[in-house]
């Protein structure tokens, strides 16, 4: 079957080049070994760009905190960060605060540049089809999904995947995101208000053994 890729699996696929960790390896191997078409929506494409900008903003906050210990992390004063991102920034700061600021800045800038270049190459060379922009999202599907999926970005991604599924043979919805747990996904498929919609088959690498 073809595969619709969620944001998470693509980011982890890109990160595997410099973070040799098991989950990232599994994401990398899935995409690398795929023999069928890889699909995404423009919603996913936009979200990928936002994730990179979010990462950049986290790094900028950490550098600022290292230079000025009195600086306070506050997601309300940022552009892309949410409350849980600030917690991550705080943990990163505690781990890196004794390191040289300029060296860290170079490493952070190098990572962001790598992600941007790699993402452009991925979209050009790996993705076979892109459809469904944010303005084209089905408001009815999205409103139902919001009752089950707390993360708004994840809700929009799945909405776009369901829309693409309506005109195709069943494909995999491939992710590595805890918000798409298998049991909860099956429960969502049984939602009576969505009974007339075809759902992709979930493949959540996060929950797979081996």
Reported as a single tens digit per residue, the pLDDT across 106-135 is: 999 999 999 999 999 999 999 999 999 999
210 pLDDT higher than 70: no
Question: How far is residue 2's CA from residue 17's CA, in Å, rounded to a whole number?
Answer: 24
- Residue 160: name the closest of 131, 122, 193 by CA: 131
pLDDT digits (tens, 9 = 90+) for 84-102: 899 999 999 999 999 999 9
- Residue 158: name the closest of 115, 121, 191, 116 by CA: 191
Would you give the distance in Å from CA 17 to the centre of its chain?
17
- Residue 6: name the closest of 185, 144, 166 by CA: 185
Calculate ∠ Cα 37-38-40, nearest 5°.
135
């Amino acid at each position: 079957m073809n595969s619709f890729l969620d944001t998470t699996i693509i980011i982890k696929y890109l990160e595997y080049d410099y973070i040799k960790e098991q989950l990232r390896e599994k994401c990398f191997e899935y995409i690398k070994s795929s023999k069928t078409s890889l699909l995404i929506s423009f919603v996913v494409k936009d979200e990928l760009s936002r994730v990179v900008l979010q990462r950049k903003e986290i790094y900028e906050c950490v550098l600022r905190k290292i230079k000025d210990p009195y600086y306070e992390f506050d997601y309300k004063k940022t552009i892309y960060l949410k409350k849980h991102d600030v917690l991550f920034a705080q943990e990163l700061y505690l781990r890196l605060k004794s390191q040289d600021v300029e060296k860290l800045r170079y490493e952070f800038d190098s990572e962001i540049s790598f992600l941007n270049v790699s993402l452009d190459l991925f979209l050009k060379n790996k993705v076979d089809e892109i459809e469904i922009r944010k303005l084209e999202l089905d408001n009815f599907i999205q409103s139902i999904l919001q009752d089950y999926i707390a993360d708004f970005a994840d809700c929009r991604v799945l909405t776009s995947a369901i829309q693409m599924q309506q005109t195709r043979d069943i494909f995999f919805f491939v992710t590595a995101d805890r918000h798409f747990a298998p049991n909860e996904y099956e429960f969502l498929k049984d939602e009576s208000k969505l009974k007339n919609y075809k759902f992709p088959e979930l493949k959540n690498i996060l929950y797979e053994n081996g």
